[in-house]
Chains A and B, each alone.
Chain A
Amino acid sequence: MATHKITTGRVRSKRVRQMTQTLALVLVCAMVLPLTGYLFPETQSVTAQAQQATGDANQRSEFWRVVREGGAGYSSVVSSVANPETNTLYNITGQNWRQIRNGLIANYGGWFLFGVVIAIVLFYALRGRIDLTEPESGERVQRWGFWERSLHWYTASLFIALTVTGLSLLFGRALLIPLLGPEGFSFWAGLSINIHNTLGPFFVLGPILMFIFWVRHNLPTAVDVAWFFKGGGIIGKAHPSAGKLNGGEKVWFWIVILLGVGAVSFSGFALIGWVQEYFGVEFTRSYAQYMHILHSVSALLWIAVFFGHVYIGTIGSEGSLDAMTRGHVSKEWAKQHHDLWYDEVKDAEESSASPASSSETESTA
């Protein structure tokens, strides 16, 4: 009787797994397959040109079709600054970019950021601050040195400056013109674009130095996987083990490096015209459009995660802010959030305090 129950349970769980997998496959196909339409304009223009080359019956319409699809001609006017396309009559890609920029990015992007803020507020209202379980004894543990904190706040202050100016340029027309008036906003937008374009290249030094100095703390381990499965201590009341940096902090680090430097900073450099020579391409409209979409979409995602980072570093978790402001944290905080790191620090302290026993700790480690 008992074995029968177990087997039916197994069959049921297998069936559930199959159903979820099938559903996932259907969803993925439903999302990916429609995108194949994007391959069409490419192939269409090629066939049009091919037909023209082979002397198709309706040569005249093919001629104008190639022109409409951005076929290049010759123009004696070539001196225009930053426009290598004076020999092209049409570049209809701007129409697509307009839809994506004004619709997806400036409209849904704004609601997305707004939603993230609301979600954080709701989370705070429901979960509240993550308090320390033990009262602070006053004993402190050094976490970040002066140089590391300087690097963090250098990056953070420039990030905030770039976020404020960048979001002003994206949402200002809808939100700030009614507030400041056209002239007032134009002044602010002009200031914003110059601050944004000038500080951007300096900002990227921050994440690059962070990568050099912090990558050793951020290599993923099995502990991080377990940390995520236990909800990171954020969801639920568990206190999963973590080293110097927990799984969430490591994900944030790699988001900064891969999404931040890899997508946002790279496309930012592309948009101010610094990188096209290295790739042997010209600053065409299509190039600028792709880079703009990459820049704004990845920047919005980055800002959304940044909101979470700020939340958990300040009001979301008791005693966390000390790590980056004062450089040290309470012993209780270290034990609760980064137990493995706390053990390491304690061992190192003990070994340095009593050099006689250092050989002993080394052998045990």
Chain B
Amino acid sequence: MARMKFLCDAERCIECNSCVTACKNENEVPWGVNRRRVVVLGDGEPGEKSISVACMHCTDAPCAAVCPVDCFYTTDDGIVLHDKDLCIGCGYCFYACPFGAPQYPQQQAFGVRGKMDKCTFCAGGPLADNSDAEYTKYGRNRISEGKLPLCAEMCATKALIAGDGDTIADIYRERVLQRGTRPQTWGWETAYPTG
């Protein structure tokens, strides 16, 4: 069984934001929500690094641990999804997530936020695969069609790679060997501490 992971190669990411745009378009995410974002570290300085970040689908997900209505679940592929029909928009997953993945479509008086939205690894939600209801609430379900997340598919420099953890780790290891650099599997020690 695959264990789906994201890996962003900081030596390759050029901050083109294609992943952000691809995700937004493919999933028709709510206004004001960006499931993926690119962060530039040391912007404009020598040694600048860019990293594309979204939900990392953690092994022991903090969002799931603190959710008061227990609306998160992990698929057989290790993808962390949530049920928007159960979500009450309390914001706890946003407080707990180290990657800033959970977001909310509203910000109204009396703390009303609306249902949480986050990256689904293009795996939809708990509703019937590829149904209209699933698409409206969670976006495209590419995993059910045997495709990988569009952000990674669209990445021009192949900095962002998505897929089974072992496979993408092999790809990355080859790169590191050829480059003669040290590995920087950003975010993995937090998201996948046990592998």
- Bound pair: A and B? yes
- Residue positions of A touching B, CB distance < 8 A: 59-60, 63-64, 67, 71, 73-77, 79-83, 85-92, 94-95, 97-98, 101-102, 169-170, 172-173, 177, 182-183, 185-186, 189-190, 193-194, 197-198, 201, 271-273, 285, 288-289, 292
Given A86-B100, A182-B69, A285-B94, A94 and B86 contact (CB-CB distance below 8 Å):
no
A183 B85 Cβ-Cβ under 8 A: yes
B41 A173 Cβ-Cβ under 8 A: no
**With an 8 A cutoff between CB atoms, is B184 at the interface?**
yes
Q: How big is chain B's contact interface, by range?
A: 35 or more
Fill in one digit per residue for B20-37: 1 if any A CB lies within 8 Å of its CB, else 0.
100000000000111001
A73 B41 Cβ-Cβ under 8 A: yes
Which residues of B lie under 8 Å from residue A77 when comparing CB positions? 17, 20, 34, 37-38
How many residue-residue contacts, CB under 8 A, span A and B? 154
A173 B70 Cβ-Cβ under 8 A: yes
- Residue positions of B touching A, CB distance < 8 A: 15, 17, 20, 32-34, 37-43, 47, 49, 51, 53, 62, 65-71, 83, 85-92, 94-100, 103-107, 109-113, 182, 184, 186-187, 190
A95 B107 Cβ-Cβ under 8 A: no
B34 A172 Cβ-Cβ under 8 A: no
Which residues of B lie under 8 Å from residue A81 when comparing CB positions? 32-33, 103-107, 113
Which residues of B lie under 8 Å from residue A71 when comparing CB positions? 41
CA distance A182 to B42 in the complex (A): 45
B37 A75 Cβ-Cβ under 8 A: yes
CA distance A193 to B17 in the complex (A): 36
CA distance A253 to B105 in the complex (A): 41
A94 B39 Cβ-Cβ under 8 A: no
- Main secondary structure, interface of B, reads loop
CA distance A75 to B50 in the complex (A): 9
A-B pairs, top 4 by smallest CB distance, nearest first, are A272-B111, A77-B37, A74-B43, A186-B86
CA distance A92 to B109 in the complex (A): 28
Q: A76-B15, A271-B111 are in contact. List 5 more A-B contacts (CB 8 A).
A: A74-B43, A80-B37, A82-B113, A197-B111, A201-B110
A285 B95 Cβ-Cβ under 8 A: yes
Which residues of B lie under 8 Å from residue A83 when comparing CB positions? 94, 100, 103
Query: A205 to chain B: closest CB distance in Å?
Result: 15
Question: Which listed residue (A75, A102, A292) contacts B39, Cβ 8 A?
Answer: A75
Which residues of B lie under 8 Å from residue A91 when comparing CB positions? 97-98, 100
